[in-house]
Amino acid sequence: MPWLQLIIHSNRDQAPAIEDALMDTGAVSVTLQDDADQPILEPALGETPLWDATRITGLYDADVNTDAISLMLLSQLPAAPLQVKWEQLEDKDWEREWMDNFHPIQCGGRLWICPSWKQPPEAAAVNLMLDPGLAFGTGTHPTTFLCLQWLDGQPLAGKTLVDFGCGSGILGIAALLLGADQVVGVDIDPQALLATRDNAARNQLLANAMPVYLPADAPETEVDIMLANILAGPLVELAPLLSRQVRTGGQLCLSGILASQAETVMAAYPDFRFDPVAQKEEWVRLTGLKM
């Protein structure tokens, strides 16, 4: 299906009003992007960050009246000096485009993450067949890769784990395929719970091997390993909950953390003796033993 996109260059203050106006004029989606190479890697708790220079793109059906929409925007936003640009968006099979660029990834000596629609490169390896759906976690992001690499090197036979912020289920399912006894998955997004269930079934795991819960419904039981690949702010805020679910002598594996945030996160977990920090690009993984 052909589409038109309307591009507006704006600033932090005007962006919310422009976003609302685009939706009012019939945009099927609105995307906000950095317009001046100003990365925002993690917002503060409860904050929705915007860049000082923000590029706003509205997506429309190809048969809309572009002149009428431009006039409507100018009338709704008289205080905003708008420079609007219409472009035809190339018609592609976007799902196919994404699938074609997701390739098998080796994470350590034993573990491969393989798209469910591709043949594993090593049939004898531990192959996790993955379709992330709408959830986070394919193994390509440094934080996920660091956690998978750590799991690959652990003796997991008979261990119990919590995968907090399970996303696609990639970490918990990897742990089960590597020998863990049971994993409890927890996520705030119902789509993540659905993706985790689907991926567990895709890897021929029993339904009770990885039960999944919203945080309010999750059981609070002691486990051997706590996995949490989320963000530094939530990791600090959730430290009491995550810490008390790890048995004495158990392990903690945290990621989603920038190198500059490592000390702050470790300080929130005083009951753990941490290993040397592992880093990939600007992201780090923290692992430790509960004393």
Q: In this predicted structure, what is the pLDDT of residue 115?
A: 85
- Does residue 183 sit in helix, strand or coil? strand
Q: Answer with the residue of higher pLDDT: 1 or 247.
A: 247
* Tokens (6 digits) for 280: 């990939």
User: For 137-157, what is the mean pLDDT?
Assistant: 92
Domain 97-290: give its CATH superfamily: Vaccinia Virus protein VP39 (3.40.50.150)
Model pLDDT for residues 179-225, shown as the tens digit of each residue: 999 999 999 999 899 999 999 999 999 989 999 999 999 999 999 99
User: For 217-243, what is the mean pLDDT?
Assistant: 96
**May I ask the CATH class of domain 3-91?**
alpha beta
Sorted by where each begins, the domain ranges of the chain are 3-91, 97-290
Q: In this predicted structure, what is the pLDDT of residue 2?
A: 76
pTM of the full predicted structure?
Answer: 0.73
- State the binding site for S-adenosyl-L-methionine: 144, 165, 187, 229
What is the rounded CA–CA span in Å between residue 236 and residue 96? 38
Model pLDDT for residues 39-84, shown as the tens digit of each residue: 555 555 445 556 778 889 999 988 899 999 988 888 888 766 667 7
What is the rounded CA–CA span in Å between residue 101 and residue 158? 35
Beta bridge partners of 253: 227, 287
pLDDT of 132 above 80? no
Q: In this predicted structure, what is the pLDDT of residue 98?
A: 57
Q: In this predicted structure, what is the pLDDT of residue 75?
A: 85
What is the rounded CA–CA span in Å between residue 21 and residue 213? 37
Q: In this predicted structure, what is the pLDDT of residue 275?
A: 98
Q: In this predicted structure, what is the pLDDT of residue 101?
A: 64
- State the binding site: 144, 165, 187, 229
